Structure 1
Amino acid sequence: MRKAKIYIPNKNPMQSGQGKTDKWILEYETKNPTSNPLMGWESSSDTFTEIRLEFSSKERAINYAKKKKIDFELIEPRKRKVVKKSYADNFLS
């Protein structure tokens, strides 16, 4: 039985926008990773790790995993804490 994780990817830290953070991703976990002795990279002969499925909602991703009998781990996104500040707050303390 395959094991996968369902999550929303983090936003790019180099940009302030929230683009491409509304899709849910289903990724398979790597089985038996090995270390390449020449380069030191992690590798595997498991080709399922290359599959990355996008879904428009969490429910669709869960339904797909249940339909295909995939064990999955659901990783809920953390809520951003937004602190509204004014430029004048720099001079008021």
Structure 2
Amino acid sequence: MSQSKGLARIFQPPKSAMQSGRAKSQGWVLVYAPAEPKAVDPLTGWVGSGDTRAQVRLTFPTRAQAIAFAEAQGIPYEAEPETAPAAIRPKVYADNFRYGRHENWSH
């Protein structure tokens, strides 16, 4: 992503590693690229910047709605292509004891 001022990125958030399902990863997100680099405050040592757009995170149900919003507001954007979610294979406890299984025992 280039560092031009005002550029926004439209993407689908990935599934969290702390969840087994796809909750909160079905929509589309519009975030702004940083307009200025972060700097260390000499007094406190905290990292921050004066870029308030870094705090903006807009969510949309579809990619088309996110793009339409960016175009209506005159925001230059980069949109990632839509990808089909990977299939989640249901796990069955009985498979741990199945005859002829190829995986090693975990205990």
TM-score (norm 2): 0.69
The AA in structure 1 aligned to 2:33 is E
- The match for 1:62 among 60, 67, 80 is 67
Contact 2:31/2:56, CA 8 A, preserved across alignment: yes
Whether 1:39 aligns to 2:49 is no
Following superposition, the deviation at residue 44 of structure 1 comes to: 1.7
Distance change >3 Å, CA 55–CA 89, structure 1 → 2: farther
**Count of matched residue positions in the alignment of Structure 1 and Structure 2:** 92
RMSD: 2.7
Q: What is the letter of the counterpart of residue 6 of structure 1?
A: I
Report the equivalent of 2:29.
Answer: 25
State the Cα distance separating 1:92 from its structure 2 match. 4.8
Larger relative contact order (C-alpha < 8 A, sep ≥ 6)?
A: 1
Given that 1:30 and 1:44 are in contact with CA atoms closer than 8 Å, whether structure 2 keeps it comes out as no
Query: Which position in structure 2 is the counterpart of 1:72?
Result: 77
Provide structure 2 residue ranges, at least 5 long, that are not aligned to the other structure: none
Q: CA deviation at 1:11?
A: 1.2
CA contact 1:31–1:44 (8 Å) conserved in 2: no
Paired residues of 1:24 and 1:55 also in contact (CA < 8 A): yes
